[in-house]
């Protein structure tokens, strides 16, 4: 004769289903604050005055190369750690004068190039004036400047 087995909980009703809502406390969402560039309006003005003094009769391409000469010096730190240090280093950017005018076109190019530098772009080169980077020095004839890595007296 076959034996019939009965489950241990036979006849016991199922327990009631209870749902409990568990939630973590709200987490404050921090909005990403854009990092500020490592230069100020005063730095841009100093750069514009420098470019005016060094390359005012040159093309905007050459303005860019003057700007990047200074910025590469900031990155290198042999000439100082800040834009002001580099632009005011003795016997370096002789075109910088606090009284030089701020040309709006030069100022706009300074902002554009300084933002590129801040974002990590490489310095520009120019077939005729700066065929390779880095370049830390330049000299010119009043119409054009030529840029190079090492000083040659």
Give the residue extent of every domain in the chain: 41-148
Q: What tokens does 73 get?
A: 């010096």
* Count of helices and strands (H, E) across the chain: 4, 2
**Is this structure's pTM higher than 0.85?**
no
CA nearest neighbour of 115 among 26, 7, 34: 34
Give the mean pLDDT of the chain. 86
pLDDT, tens digit, for every residue of 107-140? 999 999 999 999 999 999 999 999 999 999 999 8
Does residue 6 register a pLDDT over 60?
A: no
Per-residue pLDDT at 61 exceeds 60: yes
């Amino acid at each position: 004769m076959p034996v019939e087995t009965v489950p241990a909980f036979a006849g016991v009703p199922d327990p009631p289903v209870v749902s409990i809502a568990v939630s973590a406390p709200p987490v404050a969402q921090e909005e990403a604050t854009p990092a500020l560039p490592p230069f100020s309006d005063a730095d841009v003005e100093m750069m514009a005055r420098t470019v005016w003094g060094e390359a005012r009769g040159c093309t905007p391409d050459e303005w860019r190369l003057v700007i990047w000469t200074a910025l590469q010096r900031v990155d290198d730190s042999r000439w100082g750690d800040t834009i002001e240090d580099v632009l005011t280093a003795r016997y370096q950017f002789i075109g910088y004068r606090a009284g030089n005018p701020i040309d709006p076109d030069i100022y706009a190019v300074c902002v554009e190039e300084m933002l590129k530098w801040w974002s990590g772009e490489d310095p520009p080169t120019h077939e005729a004036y700066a065929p390779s980077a880095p370049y830390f020095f330049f000299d010119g004839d009043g119409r054009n400047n030529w840029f190079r890595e090492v000083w040659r007296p």
